[in-house]
Structure 1
Amino acid sequence: MTIHPEDLRTAEARLQQLHQRIGGIAYGGDYNPEQWPREVWLEDAKLMQQAGVNLVTLAVFAWSRLEISDGVFDFGWLDDVMDLMHQHGIGVDLATPDAVPPAWLVEQHPDMMPERADGSIFGFGSRQHFDVSHPVYRAKSLALAEKMGERYAKHPALRMWHVGNEYGPVSYGPWAEKAFRAWLQRKYSSLDELNEAWSTAVWGQLYTDWNQVRVPAQPRTWSNPSRRLDFHRFTSESMLEHFTAERDILRRHSPDLPIVTNFMRFYKTNDYWAWAAEEDAVALDIYPDPREDDAHVAAALNFDLMRSLRQGQPWMVMEQATGAVSQWSVNVSKLPGKMRLGSYQAIAQGADSILFFQWRQAKGGTERYHSAMVNHAGPNTRIFREVCGLGEELNALGDLTGTRSTAHVAIVFDWDCWWALELGNSPRSDLNYAQEVLRFYRPLFDANITVDLVNANSDLSAYSVVIMPASYLLTDLAARRFEDYVSDGGRLVVSYLSGIVDQNNTIRLGGYPGALRNVLGAWSEEMHPLAGDGEQVKLSTPDGGTSSATYWTEHLHAETADVVASYTSGRLAGTPAVTRNSFGEGSALYLSARVDEGLLNQLLYDELLAAGVEPELKAPTGVQARRRAGKSVDGTSRSFLMVLNHNDAPASVDVLDGGTDRLTGGAVRGLVELPANGVLILDETAG
């Protein structure tokens, strides 16, 4: 879905007002006072003031406390908390709690529970225990949203609305099936059209009546991939439809306040391009595993995706952890300084809000070992001191809000590709699309190249280089868009498993990669995935260089393209592996193999050099640099260079002309030593 400029402007106005009202960067997190006795509430409010908290999220899981039985409401306690927050100068992000239908509602309507593909029922006792297509669930959740909108729209503490929580339950039950059938009838004009799109002539799956069309529940073996792709699309759209219904209710009551829901990292179920177009801001829940030395790289890709979903608009960290994360098998806590570093990384990549899950660590329930801003031991702890220190720093950086990053390189990340590629029954059913994208992203991150993420419908004109990792599904229109991009002077980098199928998940005939064969000037007659993890073939380049490839190869033919690298071992010895084709005013590079890291890095750097793309800053390995510039919410023009040391040892960095260090107030120029996990924020405007 395309974001219309007028919608973007309206959303930006709401965001600008949010940050003006809270005084700059949003800082705080989920607050669940319903878990605690009233005497704790006042202590919490005072501690929030001490920590610099200016925004808390309320009522995310509170449906059972707000509607205690069918049609019987108790808002008194929430009124008191809202008033308490206002009295202490703390804004509220108020949530509609529809992620957790109460037990009494489930007891009345047990068919509300989602059904798994194998026919088993998702039981009560967790969350997201609903089929979003169930009419009573929809009616009751929308009615509660109406009640909350009526009651709190004018409350002086209210700063924004938060719809639901981590939308995601997939159901294969009867209500989903009925809704799926109706969705298909809207998409396809007739059963003949559906049969053609789904290739039902294969395996005799022809439908002769709409009532025969069901959800793709788990079959004995394999299931029709086109049908399953449409079910992915339906699932995302049905949940989005519920979000927009609640959003529209709240918008009537609060036309000037931002309305969001929270996304998750590398979350496959929902097409976040479509979702982001319907929100005022993108909000992310991000939980890197502290055990992974390079977790910050995958986090960076997620941050750049969030920034890109609404065309560079500042976004929100809605949830992160101060220390340990309860979802991992081993609950390793973040080392001192890592929470601060991760927060500044998000800001460097476009976030204007740093929020946590949660304010006070729960003493019971599933997430009782998930860290918080106030942990079990109370405020006299390292973590709370770090929380207070970060809050004090962020309070002085209000003029950073509203500024943006500019990228000249884009990577294609598309949910249709993701869904289609990972349905199985392909030459490599173990391919992980998100990890494939990360593989192409990593060299750019290491080189401090700012990257936007785009989808197949995005405007590409602002980019000097566009990279397509495993862009498996392409429509005819998208294929022409990439051709036009190259013809107009762009540089395109395409990997294997791109352009293979059309919008119906049907193979494009005439050689791979069918949709891109013309612009690439090369075609493959056969795919040759390599068998074992250790299988490897050798490659050579015309200048005498050598490299290798694993995992994937193809029998490639160069037509108009030049050969950049060839196979020198294995069944494809002597045939091209990597080609580059001049096309119009631009060029297209094709990697038919998963080349080793050295060659991949070199190929990407060559494209950047030829396109004149420069890093934000040349820095040692593990040191990240990002620039945010433009109009701040205070109306001034600003430019900030943020330098972050992800190493656990000091690093020397040449910041050239430098500027004013906003964290110390001192002037900085030339060579600077960043401490381990250190952060430098240079105000270049004042330099």
Structure 2
Amino acid sequence: MMINNKPISPKLPVFMHGADYNPDQWLHDPSVLEEDIRLMKLAGCNVMAIGIFSWASLEPNEGEFRFDWMDGVLERFKNNGIYAWIATPSGARPAWLSAKYPEVLRVGANRVRNLHGMRHNHCYTSPVYREKTAIINRKLAERYGDHPAVIGWHISNEFGGDCHCDLCQEAFRAWLQEKYGTLEALNMAWWTTFWAHTYTDWSQVESPSPHGENMVHGQNLDWRRFVTAQTIAFCKHEIDSVKWANPDLPATTNMHMIEGLDYRQFADVLDVVSWDAYPTWHQGKDDVKLGASIGFYHDLYRSILRKPFLLMENTPSQTNWQAVSKLKQPGMHRLSSLQAIAHGSDSVQYFQWRKSRGSSEKFHGAVVDHVGHEHTRVFRDVAELGGTLADISAVAGSSTPAETAILFDWDNRWAVKDAQGPRNSGLHYEDTVLDHHRALWEQGVMTDVIGSGDDFSPYKLIVAPMLYLCMEETGRKLEAFVENGGTLVTTYWSGIVNEHDLCHLGGFPGPLRKTLGIWAEEIEGLYDEDRNGLSLLAGNTLGLSGNYEAREICELVHAESAEVLGHYTDSFYAGRPALTVNKLGQGKAYYMATRLGDDFLLDFYRSVAAESGAARALQSELPAGLTAQLRTDGIWDYVFLMNFGAEAAEVKLDGRVYTDLESGEAEESVVSLQVNGIRMLKRAAARE
């Protein structure tokens, strides 16, 4: 059975390879634009994202449009087999727009309006900004919607930030009125009787502010949800203003920082998900931890639409804005780029094609350096990768058959960060999620990253670290998942608050209490230097033994229907449960009452993944520092072996017949990988 996805663009049904292209910076020198075409072909690049910050070049004065330069670029592309993502230019508005219509400029949380400049310095609520973006977008769509070189719309650039102007305050109140209906319902949801916060008129409600209200956690949470909703509404406004011309052209927006927006909510308006990755490679003795974390984000963005995504930006060499800008060591460009492919990307694209001569990113990495020719190490790396992507184009569109999922909700993340509780010095939610993901990644367990609103039925194993914000509905879904034979793993600081950030009554972990079979009575935060321990009971069902270090958080739990697998070794609660499992229906639910280290997580998930039957890319032991990921089209499996460790390593294959994906030659039973090495293998897919 074929399980390939439709190509993102039928015009380019292979891996996309290209960059952000800024020809408007070089209009004074047409020879540069001609040379770019030669170099693009030499580098094996087949697509460019253009026009991202070109509003001032497209509309230098209000109502005065200049498309001749874009016409020329697209004509050159068409004649040379190169394609384009056309960007809507709303990421940075022209100076005339800010000067004539100051309402388009953002107001900060301090209630001060920004000056013109920077990026993302605009109000998504402003009717004027929406009108002006619609005008330029419609012009682009009318002119290029049917152009043979255009394969899709790149909507704005890295949406983010919030605006606190009067227009946004009114929109926030309207959003709250639609959600709650009455002030009484809002006051109850936000628990405003605390500190006499009760609102008696809708006009009293404002966004959180550093010099005003910022201690009502439900209000903080709803503001973040509103900002996401308002940003999505603006994104949809932009999509509608271009897709009318050719509904078949897909639309994407490049996601980046996950702090401010719930990107999962964009699923309803985007045709394809894309994101921008900028890891700080080579910061320690090896790149295992960083490689795993980037793997997590690849998995996250792939899971939003559960189909191939696009790596829209990464750097071919170094950035200019990180604390230290290191070069990619030999092999890392190939490894990090193909890692994205291994986790489900159908593209490798860069910021940027050609280095700018001036301003803040003039030293940011690019395919073409200031020297202007192809005789550089970076260009050779890019060109070699272009050849590889062409060689393995059969993989494009294939799926990632994950039977394991990590539950990662944005509103849970926001609520954890807002919580004032056991460790105000840091509960390290995101680090904890990444630690659990890495233990699976190091064993080659393909993993989706899902939200509580998603369907749980495709999975055999669901991991939900620190599920602090757990709605009653989520509790019921997880209970049904376990009863139907699934395996659930969760941890301390779970089932604490509901969707309004109000504590569950009747005993923690609230809606998970029956599923986990425990009652969490107290929780202790440990100082950074403090340590406790987990001692596993002899003969436990995991088959593990010995002691493991515990730190940061220790929860004091009572085993109700759960079986105790291990207990604390220290403090006044030594001997009390620290690790439990509860059988419910046909499945089981594990609970870690304390934060445990990488050594325990690796041993634990080795046992639990095998017990659950969750799919792995390779049925053999992987050396430290290596991972294996899998894509499949239902006829062939494509296995990616990647070495992020500090030493060369060998992987023993699992007895199936493998060939090298690039050469087609039969593979030996042992595969060698150098540091920063990757091997891509092909085998017959299992028939169900």
TM-score, length of structure 1 as denominator length: 0.94
Question: Which range moved further: 616-625 or 395-404?
Answer: 616-625
Q: Distance in 2 between matches of 1:585 and 1:242?
A: 46
Match of 1:654 among 630, 641, 652: 652
Match of 2:630 among 627, 631, 635: 627
- Aligned-pair distance for 1:685? 4.1
What amino acid does structure 2 have at the position aligned with 1:332?
A: K
Residue 673 of structure 1 aligns to a residue whose secondary structure is: strand
What amino acid does structure 2 have at the position aligned with 1:304?
A: D
Map of 2:476 onto structure 1:
480
- Aligned-pair distance for 1:354? 0.9
Contact 2:403 2:615 survives alignment (8 Å): no
- Aligned-pair distance for 1:98? 0.2
Residue 227 of structure 1 aligns to a residue whose secondary structure is: helix
Map of 2:35 onto structure 1:
43
Q: Distance in 1 between matches of 2:168 and 2:685?
A: 57
Contact 1:46 1:88 survives alignment (8 Å): no
- Aligned-pair distance for 1:120? 4.1
Map of 1:524 onto structure 2:
520
Q: Distance in 2 between matches of 1:96 and 1:613?
A: 42
- Aligned-pair distance for 1:156? 1.4
Map of 2:643 onto structure 1:
645
- Aligned-pair distance for 1:686? 10
- The change in CA–CA distance for 1:96 and 1:678 in structure 2 (over 3 A counts) is same
Question: Which range moved further: 661-670 or 533-542?
Answer: 661-670
- Aligned-pair distance for 1:375? 1.5
The one-character-per-residue Cα deviations of 1:581-617 (angstroms, maximum 9, x if unpaired) are 1111111111111123333333322221221235322
1:75-224 alignment runs, 5 A limit: 75-219=67-211, 222-224=214-216
Map of 1:573 onto structure 2:
574
Q: Distance in 1 between matches of 2:453 and 2:212?
A: 37
Q: Distance in 1 between matches of 2:246 and 2:174?
A: 32
Map of 1:3 onto structure 2:
none
Contact 1:51 1:387 survives alignment (8 Å): yes
Match of 1:361 among 355, 359, 372: 355
What amino acid does structure 2 have at the position aligned with 1:660?
A: T
Q: Distance in 2 between matches of 1:170 and 1:417?
A: 19
- Aligned-pair distance for 1:434? 2.0
Q: Distance in 1 between matches of 2:44 and 2:320?
A: 25
- Aligned-pair distance for 1:659? 2.6
What amino acid does structure 1 have at the position aligned with 2:596?
A: V
- Aligned-pair distance for 1:113? 2.0
1:288-299 alignment runs, 5 A limit: 288-292=279-283, 293=287, 294-299=289-294
Q: Distance in 2 between matches of 1:173 and 1:427?
A: 35
- Aligned-pair distance for 1:274? 1.1
Contact 1:12 1:280 survives alignment (8 Å): no
Q: Distance in 1 between matches of 2:437 and 2:33?
A: 45
What amino acid does structure 1 have at the position aligned with 2:191?
A: S
Match of 1:340 among 334, 356, 367: 334
Map of 1:309 onto structure 2:
304
Map of 2:498 onto structure 1:
502
- The change in CA–CA distance for 1:686 and 1:178 in structure 2 (over 3 A counts) is closer
Contact 1:114 1:169 survives alignment (8 Å): no
Map of 1:426 onto structure 2:
421
Q: Distance in 2 between matches of 1:38 and 1:322?
A: 25
What amino acid does structure 1 have at the position aligned with 2:364?
A: H
Residue 609 of structure 1 aligns to a residue whose secondary structure is: helix
Contact 1:657 1:669 survives alignment (8 Å): no
Residue 632 of structure 2 aligns to a residue whose secondary structure is: strand
- Aligned-pair distance for 1:222? 4.8
The one-character-per-residue Cα deviations of 1:128-183 (angstroms, maximum 9, x if unpaired) are 11121122111111221111111111111111111000000212222221111111
What amino acid does structure 2 have at the position aligned with 1:613?
A: A
- The change in CA–CA distance for 1:297 and 1:163 in structure 2 (over 3 A counts) is same
Residue 410 of structure 1 aligns to a residue whose secondary structure is: strand
In structure 1, runs of 5+ residues without a counterpart are: 1-8, 632-636
Map of 2:680 onto structure 1:
681
Match of 2:382 among 360, 382, 387: 387
Q: Distance in 1 between matches of 2:385 and 2:575?
A: 58
Map of 2:445 onto structure 1:
449
Map of 2:264 onto structure 1:
273
What amino acid does structure 1 have at the position aligned with 2:14?
A: G
The one-character-per-residue Cα deviations of 1:396-416 (angstroms, maximum 9, x if unpaired) are 222111111111211101111
- Aligned-pair distance for 1:357? 0.6
What amino acid does structure 2 have at the position aligned with 1:599?
A: F
Map of 2:668 onto structure 1:
669
Verify: 1:31 aligned to 2:21, yes or no: yes
Map of 1:411 onto structure 2:
406
TM-score, length of structure 2 as denominator length: 0.94
- Aligned-pair distance for 1:245? 1.4
Q: Percent identity?
A: 35
The one-character-per-residue Cα deviations of 1:403-453 (angstroms, maximum 9, x if unpaired) are 111112111011110111112423333223322210111111111111111
Question: Which range moved further: 534-543 or 57-66?
Answer: 534-543
Contact 2:469 2:501 survives alignment (8 Å): yes
- The change in CA–CA distance for 1:505 and 1:99 in structure 2 (over 3 A counts) is same
Q: Distance in 2 between matches of 1:336 and 1:563?
A: 49
Map of 2:542 onto structure 1:
none
What amino acid does structure 1 have at the position aligned with 2:313?
A: E
- Aligned-pair distance for 1:68? 0.8
Question: Which range moved further: 605-614 or 386-395?
Answer: 605-614
Q: Distance in 2 between matches of 1:329 and 1:596?
A: 28
Residue 176 of structure 1 aligns to a residue whose secondary structure is: helix
Contact 1:100 1:127 survives alignment (8 Å): yes
RMSD: 1.9
Contact 2:446 2:615 survives alignment (8 Å): no
Contact 1:163 1:259 survives alignment (8 Å): yes
- How many residues align? The count is 667
Q: Distance in 1 between matches of 2:365 and 2:568?
A: 51
- Aligned-pair distance for 1:73? 1.2
Map of 1:282 onto structure 2:
273
- The change in CA–CA distance for 1:648 and 1:570 in structure 2 (over 3 A counts) is closer
- Aligned-pair distance for 1:664? 2.7
Map of 1:634 onto structure 2:
none
Q: Distance in 2 between matches of 1:227 and 1:23?
A: 46
- Aligned-pair distance for 1:23? 4.7
What amino acid does structure 2 have at the position aligned with 1:330?
A: V
Question: Which range moved further: 200-209 or 565-574?
Answer: 565-574
- Aligned-pair distance for 1:626? 1.4
Q: Distance in 2 between matches of 1:571 and 1:121?
A: 54
Map of 1:248 onto structure 2:
240
Q: Distance in 2 between matches of 1:229 and 1:385?
A: 48
Q: Distance in 2 between matches of 1:597 and 1:565?
A: 17
Q: Distance in 1 between matches of 2:336 and 2:623?
A: 19
Contact 1:450 1:626 survives alignment (8 Å): yes
Map of 2:552 onto structure 1:
551
In structure 2, runs of 5+ residues without a counterpart are: 539-544
Residue 651 of structure 2 aligns to a residue whose secondary structure is: strand
- Aligned-pair distance for 1:232? 0.4
Map of 1:605 onto structure 2:
606
Contact 1:553 1:593 survives alignment (8 Å): yes
- The change in CA–CA distance for 1:107 and 1:458 in structure 2 (over 3 A counts) is same
Question: Which range moved further: 203-212 or 55-64?
Answer: 203-212
Residue 633 of structure 2 aligns to a residue whose secondary structure is: strand
Q: Distance in 1 between matches of 2:428 and 2:548?
A: 23
Map of 2:541 onto structure 1:
none
- Aligned-pair distance for 1:84? 1.4
